[in-house]
C-alpha cells in the first residue's frame, strides 16, 4: 500500500500541545563552595518531578506517558538513562518510561520539543520534560574525547571547543557590541532579577531543596545562589578577561558555572481539558539551526527565523522574549539583528542567566517558566518566544501563545 493511500484512509490530525506547569530548583554555584556540593544531580531532578505531581493533584501518575530528562554530561549521577531512573526515584509507576537527551545547553528545550512532537502526533497525552546539570560534579567537557579529525581536518575551529572563546569571536564579528555595552546589559540583568525577586515573580516556580554539604548539617535552599545584586559598571570594569588578553568577556557579563534542575508538564489540549489541568501556554512552533561553531552565540537568529516562518509570524508579532544569557554579547547580537534596543522592556523582564545562572541542560525550562508567568501578568501579549544558543554552533527557538490573550486559539 502506498504512503499516499495510507494517508487518505487514515488521516492523522496534529493536536495542540500545551505547557501545563514548570518548576525548578534554586540554582547553585558549581564547586566545593556551592550549595549543592555533596548533592546528587538525579536527586535534584526527583525534587522537580515530585513537586510537579504535588502541584497538579488532578494528574494521575499513571497518565504520564514519558519522562524525558536532559543532561550534557551523561555519566555518574547524570547517567544511567536519567529520565527513566529519575521517574523511578520520584515514585512514578514502573509503567512510566523515560529517556535521556543531550543537546548541550538546549537539553531541556529539546526534551520539551521532542516530547511535544510526540504529543502532537498522538503517541503521548501527558509527559514530563526537563533537564539537569551539576557542573560541580561534572565540569564542562570533563571526560570528553573530541575526535582528532575536528582539528586535523579543520572541521571545527579549535576556539569553538571553548565557549568563552566563541563569545570573544562574536565581539570580533560585531565590533559595535563593545565591552561597555555588554557590561551595561549585564548590570541590567542583575537589576531586573533583583526586582523580580522583590515582586515575588521568581519564587512561585521554585522547589525548596534541603541539601547537606560535606561535614555540615542540612540547609533548606529557597533562593538562587549566583545573583549579585548591586552590581555596577565600575565593578564589572575591574574584572579580568580570562579568554583573551585585553578581551571583552568576563565573569560579570557571562553566565557562571552552575548546578540545578528543571522539569515541566506538557499535554495535549484535549488531555489537559479532560484532566482539569490549567494551561499556561500553547506551543506554536519550534526550530533548531546550525551555525559556525566558532560563533555559536549567533545560533538563536537562524533558529528564530525558522520558527517564525513555521508559525506564519514575524518578529513584530512577538511581545515577550526570553533569551538565555550565556553571554551578553550573544543576546546583543540577536537584538541587533532584529533592530531591538538593548533596553527593550519585552526582553528578559525578570533578568536572565547572567544573574540567575545557567546549569546547561536545565535552562530551557527556566526560560519557559518565566515566559509563562509573564503571559499571566500581561494578557495584552499574544505571542512570546524562548531562545538560546547551543554549544558547537547551534540555536534553538520555541514560539508560544498566551492563553490569557483575547484572541487565544483563533486561526491556530
Nearest one of 115, 161, 102, 164 to 360, comparing CA atoms: 102
| Helix (H) or strand (E) run with residue 315 in it | none
Helix (H, G, I), strand (E, B) or coil at 323: strand
Is 48 one of the annotated active-site residues of the chain?
A: no
Q: Which of 179, 160, 400, 185 is nearest to 298 (CA)?
A: 160
Which of 371, 398, 396 lies closest to 284, judged by CA?
398
Among residues 37, 48, 105, 134, the one annotated as catalytic is 105
Torsional class of 360: left (φ above 0), alpha (ψ -120 to 50), beta (otherwise): left
- What is the C-alpha to C-alpha distance for residues 43 and 40, in angstroms, rounded to an integer? 5
Q: What is the C-alpha separation between 347 and 350, in angstroms, rounded? A: 9
Give the DSSP H/E element, type plus range, for residue 119.
Answer: helix 107-121
Contacts of 318 (CB under 8 A, 6+ apart): 308, 346, 383, 384, 385, 399
What distance in Å separates the CA atoms of residue 265 and residue 67, rounded to the nearest whole number?
9
Are the C-beta atoms of 272 and 20 separated by less than 8 Å? yes
Q: Which of 37, 134, 138, 389 is catalytic?
A: 389
C-alpha cell at 114: 521532542
User: What CA–CA distance (Å, rounded) separates 196 from 178?
Assistant: 27
Torsion of the alpha carbons at 390, 386, 371 and 309, rounded to the nearest 10: -170
Distance from the Cα of residue 60 to its chain's centroid: 26
- Cα 160 to its chain centre, rounded Å, is 21
Distances (CA, A) of 308 to 15, 45, 76, 301: 19, 32, 38, 11
C-alpha cell at 45: 531532578
Q: Which positions are catalytic?
A: 105, 358, 389
Amino acid at each position: 500500500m502506498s504512503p499516499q493511500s495510507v494517508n487518505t484512509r487514515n488521516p492523522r490530525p496534529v493536536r495542540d500541545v500545551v505547557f501545563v506547569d514548570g518548576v525548578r530548583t534554586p540554582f547553585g554555584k558549581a564547586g566545593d563552595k556551592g550549595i549543592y556540593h555533596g548533592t546528587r544531580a538525579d536527586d535534584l531532578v526527583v525534587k522537580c518531578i515530585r513537586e510537579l505531581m504535588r502541584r497538579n493533584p488532578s494528574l494521575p501518575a499513571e497518565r504520564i506517558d514519558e519522562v524525558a530528562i536532559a543532561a550534557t554530561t551523561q555519566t555518574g549521577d547524570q547517567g544511567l538513562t536519567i529520565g527513566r531512573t529519575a521517574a523511578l526515584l520520584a515514585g512514578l509507576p514502573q509503567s512510566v518510561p523515560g529517556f535521556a537527551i543531550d543537546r548541550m545547553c538546549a537539553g531541556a528545550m529539546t526534551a520539551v520539543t521532542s516530547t511535544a512532537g510526540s504529543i502532537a502526533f498522538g503517541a503521548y497525552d501527558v509527559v514530563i520534560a526537563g533537564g539537569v546539570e551539576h557542573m560541580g560534579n561534572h565540569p564542562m567537557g570533563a571526560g570528553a574525547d573530541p575526535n582528532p579529525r575536528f582539528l586535523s581536518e579543520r572541521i571545527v575551529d579549535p576556539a569553538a571547543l571553548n565557549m568563552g572563546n566563541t563569545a570573544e569571536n562574536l565581539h570580533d564579528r560585531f565590533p559595535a557590541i563593545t565591552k561597555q555595552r555588554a557590561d551595561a546589559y549585564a548590570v541590567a540583568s542583575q537589576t531586573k532579577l533583583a526586582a523580580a525577586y522583590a515582586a515575588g515573580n521568581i519564587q512561585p516556580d521554585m522547589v525548596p531543596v534541603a541539601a547537606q554539604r560535606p561535614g555540615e548539617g542540612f540547609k533548606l535552599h529557597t533562593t538562587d545562589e549566583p545573583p549579585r545584586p548591586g552590581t555596577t559598571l565600575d565593578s564589572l570594569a575591574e574584572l579580568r578577561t580570562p579568554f583573551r588578553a585585553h578581551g571583552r568577556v568576563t565573569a560579570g557579563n557571562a553566565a557562571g558555572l552552575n548546578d540545578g534542575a528543571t522539569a515541566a508538564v506538557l499535554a495535549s489540549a484535549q488531555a489537559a481539558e479532560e484532566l482539569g489541568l490549567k494551561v499556561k501556554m500553547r506551543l506554536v512552533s519550534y526550530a533548531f539551526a546550525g551555525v559556525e561553531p566558532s560563533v555559536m552565540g549567533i545560533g538563536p537568529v537562524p533558529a528564530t527565523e525558522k520558527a517564525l516562518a513555521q508559525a506564519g509570524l514575524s518578529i513584530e508579532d512577538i511581545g515577550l522574549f526570553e533569551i538565555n544569557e550565556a553571554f551578553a554579547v550573544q543576546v546583543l547580537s540577536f537584538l541587533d539583528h532584529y533592530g531591538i534596543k538593548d533596553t527593550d522592556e519585552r526582553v528578559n523582564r525578570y533578568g536572565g542567566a547572567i544573574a540567575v545562572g545557567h546549569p546547561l541542560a536545565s535552562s530551557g525550562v527556566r526560560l519557559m517558566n518565566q515566559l509563562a508567568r509573564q503571559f499571566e501578568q500581561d494578557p495584552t501579549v499574544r505571542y512570546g518566544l524562548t531562545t538560546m544558543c547551543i554549544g558547537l554552533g547551534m540555536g534553538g527557538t520555541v514560539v508560544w501563545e498566551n492563553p490569557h490573550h483575547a484572541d487565544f486559539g483563533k486561526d491556530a
